[in-house]
Amino acid sequence: GRVHDARALTESGLLEGPGETTTHDPGSSSVPHIADKGYVGMGLITPVKKLPGLPLSEADKNFNRAIDRIRWRIEQVIAHLKTWKTLKTGYRRPIDALPDAITTILGIIFTYTL
């Protein structure tokens, strides 16, 4: 849309749970989130950017591969969910049951795709 993804994420409050903030403090107990390079500087785990004219170190390449493997799985799950006819129709259950329904669906998908 018209708003950058990083700004939309910050304004949505999705990263803020009970006792969490959008920046990751290494001493805190909150779990950092993985994101792509569009979210650099937000306290999320992001791939290392290659500086112009300099190669990435082998450690940075391995780090980026590890992040890409995780993100690839997530992207596949999202693509799979988008093909479900049920998700293209209106949600017909009580709204307070929506988080449990989503968690259950994701659990089933992760169980069968890992």
Residues 78 and 38 in one domain: no
Give pLDDT tens digits for 84-109.
Answer: 776 677 777 888 888 888 888 888 87
Do residues 60 and 93 both lie within one domain?
A: yes
What is the per-residue pLDDT for 101? 84
User: Looking at residue 113, what is its pLDDT?
Assistant: 64
What are 111's two structure tokens?
Answer: 């169980």
Do 33 and 79 belong together in one domain? no
The model's confidence at residue 21, banded by pLDDT at 50, 70 and 90, is very low
Same-domain status, 20 and 58: no
The pLDDT score that the predictor gives to residue 94 is: 87
| Count of domains observed in the chain | 2
Instruction: Give the model confidence (pLDDT) of 45-92 as tens digits.
Output: 999 999 999 999 999 999 999 999 988 888 888 888 788 776 677 777
Do residues 54 and 39 share a domain?
no
Give the domain range for residue 24: 1-46
Are 55 and 110 members of one domain? yes
Same domain, 105 and 57: yes
In the structure, what pLDDT confidence band is assigned to residue 24 with cuts at 50, 70 and 90?
A: very low
pLDDT of the residue at 67: 92
Q: How many Å apart are CA 6 and CA 37, to the nearest integer?
A: 10
**Residue 23 scores a pLDDT above 60:** no
75 and 63 within one domain: yes
Same domain, 34 and 86: no
Query: Do 27 and 2 belong together in one domain?
Result: yes
The stretch 22-42 carries a mean pLDDT of 67
